[in-house]
Amino acid sequence: MTDQTKDRVLIFDTTLRDGEQSPGATMSHAEKLEIAGMLDEMGVDIIEAGFPIASIGDFEAVKAIAEQTERATICGLARANTKDIDRCWEAVRHAKSPRIHTFIGTSPLHRAIPDLTQDQMADRIHETVTHARNLCDNVQWSPMDATRTEWDYLKRVVEIAINAGATTINIPDTVGYTAPVESADLIRRLIAEIDGAEDIVFATHCHNDLGMATANSLAAVEGGARQIECTINGLGERAGNTALEEVVMALRVRGDIMPYRTSIDTTKIINISRKVATVSGFPVQYNKAIVGKNAFAHESGIHQDGMLKNAETFEIMRPEDIGLKETNLVLGKHSGRAALRAKLKDLGFDLADNQLSDIFVRFKALADRKKEVYDDDLEALMRDQSGSDGERIKLKFLRVICGTEAPQTADLTLEVDGDDLQVTAHGDGPVDAAFNAVKELFPHEARLQLYQVHAVTEGTDAQATVSVRMEENGRLVTGQSADTDTVVASVKAYIHALNRLLLRREQSGGDVKQVSYKDVG
């Protein structure tokens, strides 16, 4: 590592790979390309675009991202075998800066899965890293579950990977087991005791099972790591990954004690946070650091008084630093396209003309039903992906009968693959009746795991944002929608989830089957 790079921390984003593995968070091909473009534009150094061997869809997405990306290094993931590595190289080879990331589980628990001895695994690491390096001069290697691997063996296999040609060594805390002091000491010790360590980049990849992913990543940087693997909004399996926005803003705000820099344009954080929340179907919790709805909100009288006198009293960073602008409810049914575009841009949404046309139609429909359209209403419209072009199932008509006396009934018309289908169904309440009607028109075996309703704003005319999560044969999908009518929002979210389920079926139906043992951290 040169003197010029000692204070430089590379940001390796794995939202499109590890983040997408979060149950129910599968993204479409177009959504992956859009997010990759936003990551590149914001200054991410390395984009892990996917796991090419996992499916035809994953391969095509990684390949397209590699071909379109202007600046960032594009990385694909591969298990420790030549078939995976060859497939990965085929996907990333046309990137301006390609990288192969290969891994194997090195802890006793993970060694037992392929049933390899320590020596057998060491031989495989040497062979596969050498094979990857013969294809690509930028090779990253990861000992999965490194933080639970015996020290002597971890040191041995890291040395083997470096000697075989790995240029980046990633140390994953795969199950979120470690603590900050251990995270720093592990990196520091590897660098100190391994020959050739000074010539490669050490990376950290932390999961949040104990809520310490950000702290562990920053501690690893203190120990000498110069690459942080992370995801937007901390998206990822189980409790998630290190959140990109948290480590980046921590390094920016606390440069006095962590004198390291990144290439991230932080003013683009809020926009990509919202985009990832929308396409993944995973809303950001209100009290989430940096990007949560309440991150810059103050209700306490003491806090409000302090903020009025000096914002720095209770804010260690400015909303503008992450691209958030302080705006309020000025739009209504008489507002035009220019006003809507300006407002959305203030909120962090920079739309193309065709996107603006779509949202403008929905904005007008909402404004006709509400006296005032709040910023939160607009954000809900942007998150609402139901009724997108290309969906096989669309809501055409819904009428429900409910109350203390009347039977709970739903009259529903759906467009399914271009045909209009109609049914009347009953249920235990209007939502249950409507869901039963959907199931009659589009029979399926998916099980509803989650049904959640949130009011977007205050008042009886507030929009409801509904999230549903469904499971079918191990596939998890999430759907979201917003509407001033809670039952309509519920049905649209349910249909959105079904459309995503159909997409999952298509993506896993290619020649290469979805693999299960694909987690690197």
Q: What is the pTM of this model?
A: 0.78
pLDDT at 67 (0 to 100): 97
What is the DSSP secondary-structure string of 190-217?
A: HHHHSTTGGGSEEEEEEB-TTS-HHHHH
pLDDT at 512 (0 to 100): 33
pLDDT at 297 (0 to 100): 66
Phi, psi of 106 (to 5 degrees): -110, -10
Nearby residues of 41 by Cβ (< 8 Å), 6 or more positions away: 265, 268
State yes or no: 29 annotated in a binding site: no
Nearby residues of 441 by Cβ (< 8 Å), 6 or more positions away: 412, 414, 416, 421, 422, 423
State yes or no: 205 annotated in a binding site: yes
User: What does the pLDDT profile of the chain (521 residues) look like in tens digits?
Assistant: 544 467 999 999 999 999 888 877 778 888 899 999 999 999 999 999 999 999 898 999 999 999 999 999 999 999 999 999 999 999 999 999 999 999 999 999 999 999 999 999 999 999 999 999 999 999 999 999 999 999 999 999 999 999 999 999 999 999 999 999 999 999 999 999 999 999 999 999 999 999 999 999 999 999 999 999 999 999 999 999 999 999 999 999 999 999 999 999 999 999 899 889 888 878 888 899 999 878 876 444 444 444 345 555 546 888 889 987 754 445 777 788 888 888 888 777 778 888 888 888 888 888 887 767 777 788 777 777 555 656 889 999 999 998 887 789 999 999 998 899 999 999 999 999 999 999 999 999 999 988 988 887 777 777 888 888 888 888 888 888 888 899 999 999 999 899 888 887 776 653 333 343 334 44
CA distances from 472 to 59, 168, 365, 513 (A): 23, 38, 34, 17
How many helices and strands in the chain, by DSSP H and E? 16, 14
Q: Which of 167, 163, 180 is nearest to 137 (CA)?
A: 167
Question: What sign does the CA torsion over 53, 56, 58, 59 have?
Answer: positive
State yes or no: 241 annotated in a binding site: yes
Q: H or E segment at 397?
A: strand 393-401
Q: Tell me which DSSP letter residue 400 carries.
A: E
pLDDT at 518 (0 to 100): 38
